Structure 1
C-alpha cells in the first residue's frame, strides 16, 4: 500500500520524479529544457510551490502567470492545450505511481485548475499583445486602442 503525501520530502520526490518524465518527453521537453538553465534551483522552487500549495507553508516566491506568459512569448505562442494535457497526464501518472490518499486527489484537482488558469492567462496575454501590435491609434479608432 502506498502512503499519502505528508511532507516536503514527499513533495520533493513527486516534483523530481515528475520533471524527469517531462525532461525526457520529446514533445514538451523543449519548452522546459531550452529555458531552464539551473534545474536544481528550478526543482527546489517548484517543491516550494507545491509545498505551499498543499500544506499552506509560505515558502514559494514567484509569479507563475508571468513566467508562463514569458515562456509562451519566447516560443511565439506555440504552446497549446495539448502541451498542458501532456503535462497534466504526467502529473497524474506520477502521483498515482508514488502515492495514494487525500493529498494526491487535492494535488490532481489543483494542478487541473492551475493548468487551465495558466493557459487561459497565456491566451489572454497573446490577445493583449496582438491588440497592442495591430492597433493604430488614429482618427475615430484612437479610443479603441489601449494606451
Structure 2
C-alpha cells in the first residue's frame, strides 16, 4: 500500500479536481445539474477549478473572479450540497493526507454552507419580490 501525501503541487490539485469532477459527472443526484449547466465546457471549467484551488490551498494567485454568481440560480438545495461534500471528502481522503488536505475539506465545507445560504437567500428574496409585485 502506498503512503498518501499532502496536497503540495499543481499536479496534486489537478488530480483532486479531475478525480472529484469525474465522480460528480457520473453521480445520479448532482451529475445532471453539473452536466446541464456546464455542457461541453468541462475543459474550461476544470481549468478554472485548478486555478481556484491552487489559489485557495497553495497560495499561488492564479484565480481571480467571484465564484458565487455562476451558482446563484442553480436548482439546488442542502441535499445537493451534502452530496457534493460527500464526494469531495471521499475524493480528498482517497488521494491525500495532511494539513492541506484537511484545509481543502474545511474550505469546501465552508463554501458549500455559504453557497447554500446565499442561494436560499436570493431564492427567498425573489419569491417574496414576486409576491409583493403580484399584489
What TM-score, normalized to structure 2? 0.92
Deviation at 1:61, TM superposition (A): 2.4
CA change 1:136–1:8 in 2 (3 A) is: same
Over the aligned positions, Cα root-mean-square deviation in angstroms equals 1.4
2:6 counterpart residue number: 4
Q: Gaps (5+ residues) in structure 2? A: none
2:22 counterpart residue number: 20
2:34 counterpart residue number: 32
Distance 1:89 1:136 in 2: 39
Distance 1:64 1:125 in 2: 16
Q: Secondary structure at the match of 1:59?
A: coil
1:119 counterpart residue number: 116
Q: Secondary structure at the match of 1:132?
A: helix
2:71 counterpart residue number: 68
Greater C-alpha radius of gyration: 1
Deviation at 1:122, TM superposition (A): 0.2
What CA deviation, in whole Å up to 9, does each residue of 1:93-126 have, x standing for no partner? 1111111111110011111011000000000010
What TM-score, normalized to structure 1? 0.85
Report whether the alignment pairs 1:85 with 2:85: no
1:59 counterpart residue number: 62
What CA deviation, in whole Å up to 9, does each residue of 1:13-45 have, x standing for no partner? 100000000000011101100111311110010
How many equivalent residue pairs?
132
Distance 1:35 1:136 in 2: 29
